[in-house]
Structure 1
């Protein structure tokens, strides 16, 4: 059973490829291809669809692993699996009416109609997808945690507390988090390049910070080990891998109360209302000051992450392939 994987161009983003490779590298009979174009213009779409057509094979299973959903147009008549990670572009980012319509049709409605199997990575994402498709067979298969990230015992927190933020897009809610940290003795590490507005918020709230970009997996793992608390108080997510990575690394994590993070992190996170700065601040202070609570979260995280081990998720992928 050969599986041909089609991935988006790495210049279009790193996160989807990272979580996908956790499983793909364990699949034996496979071929992998990355889209030649990272853009989303008409010429880019045509180029990528033609690329997929030129690499499809009769009898093989073709799996589009995320983002380039429109690539299904190059697989009509062939066995296909489409993984959809989120609907951020439709449900969070503001677009013109025309652009939103085109995006909805080419990235969601048409691909979900044509794909042999449609997968998504959380029950919350599935609920959003149901707005754009009448399919009843959309299947939820969670992302898998990278097993290269190992548990590291958290030592006592000393001042300044080291807080890790992963991601800088608007849905990550960094500015409210920075406002909540005003007056708390901390050093913030941000994975990604903060915007001028975010940098201004850091300065206005007197927060010492460093930002790091283009990290290898090993370097990103080191940031988890080096921090005391992982902050992931997002407004919108398709899944929530940083919460699991905090669990795997043995670090307490602050999450927002959005449903998908409760689905992923369960009882192993300290929750805050992402729209309420006072709520976020209260959560930070509890994590900083209550050592017993921190350790309870870490222990619950060790248990929770077992549900996302690669071997468990790989079997679910293979079950889908065997159905084709």
Structure 2
């Protein structure tokens, strides 16, 4: 993973581009982007190098130091993997930039909005050769901000490491168990809990619970286990020990839990908004995330009808084929070749 090739070695190896992946500064928790692209790096036929930028945060001091750090890096093609798009000001034109979503970035007051648009979207879009997004939904959102860069933007979905998921054998729990992934506002945990009130189910919840969420769980008398700062392998183990993924999010740039659950082999309920219908297709039950009744009815449909659960699992297995690692890696490798050869 840490091998780096110069231009002469590139020629000797028959044209394999050696990308340099830029990750965010290392931090505790919240490493989903790094987990995702570590999988992609591991699947590449090309040698690659991974670099974590040195400074955490979005202060002007941190941004300036990180950009200077980027200017000093040497490589054939740089890939800014997400969240730190401003690094394009350091890496320059031979750069691939991945944007995961737009909505979560554009928050705060008017001044913050302007600075985020300028440093995270406008300027990087003028510099880099290629921008990848993880869904058609994300592409549509992004082009509202940088319409002039339409020719640079390409959809490459997130991959699922199917072989890694297959290590985990399904273990149907004694009590019907729902897996709920994420506790941030867009994950819609409160309405999901409300929808489950009075049902004989158990919950596996991933993410730190707020006081409001804890109080709601206590008031509904639902039994649950809460998991915080667990490894990706532990997350996959939770899929295998759950009966159903209930992912009624209000906003996702992609929605990785959908295909992770399907790769493990459990049925999925997800939302009919944002990117989730695109990712799930007809392989999941789609609900209005703001309609408590719809969420409840969907859970009862799967819980009380084993044949429906089996149907969703079978469709999920078919759906996940679109997102297998080898397919996604091949698309990125083609992009690196285009950028290196100045064709993008």
TM-score range normalised by the length of the shorter chain: over 0.9
- Aligned counterpart for 1:248 among listed residues 239, 260, 263: 263
- Quick check: 1:157–1:288 contact (8 Å CA) kept in 2? no
Task: Check if 1:197 corresponds to 2:215.
Answer: no
- Quick check: 2:250–2:274 contact (8 Å CA) kept in 1? no
Residue of structure 1 equivalent to 2:23: 7
- Quick check: 1:5–1:62 contact (8 Å CA) kept in 2? yes
Task: Check if 1:300 corresponds to 2:318.
Answer: no
SS of equivalent to 1:204 = helix
Query: Could you tell me the TM-score, scaled by structure 2's length?
Result: 0.88
Task: Check if 1:120 corresponds to 2:138.
Answer: no
Residue of structure 2 equivalent to 1:135: 149
User: 1:191-270, aligned counterparts within 5 Å?
Assistant: 191-270=206-285
Moved over 6 A (4+): none
Residue of structure 2 equivalent to 1:100: 113
Aligned length: 318
Query: Could you tell me the TM-score, scaled by structure 1's length?
Result: 0.94
CA deviation after TM superposition for structure 1 residue 98, in Å? 1.1
Task: Check if 1:62 corresponds to 2:78.
Answer: yes
1:57-79 deviation line (CA, Å, top 9, x unaligned): 3xx10110111000000023x41
Structure 2: unaligned runs, 5 residues or longer: 1-16, 340-344
Partner Cα distance (2:315, 2:167) in 1: 13
Partner Cα distance (2:250, 2:234) in 1: 26
CA RMSD after TM alignment? 1.6
- Quick check: 2:18–2:47 contact (8 Å CA) kept in 1? yes
- Quick check: 1:151–1:248 contact (8 Å CA) kept in 2? no
Residue of structure 1 equivalent to 2:47: 29
Residue of structure 1 equivalent to 2:123: 110
SS of equivalent to 1:37 = coil
1:10-50 deviation line (CA, Å, top 9, x unaligned): 32721111111111122332111012122122112112212
User: 1:124-203, aligned counterparts within 5 Å?
Assistant: 124-133=137-146, 134-137=148-151, 138-147=153-162, 148-150=164-166, 158=174, 160-203=175-218
Structure 1: unaligned runs, 5 residues or longer: none
SS of equivalent to 1:50 = helix
SS of equivalent to 1:254 = strand
CA deviation after TM superposition for structure 1 residue 175, in Å? 0.3
CA deviation after TM superposition for structure 1 residue 320, in Å? 0.7
Partner Cα distance (1:212, 1:322) in 2: 41
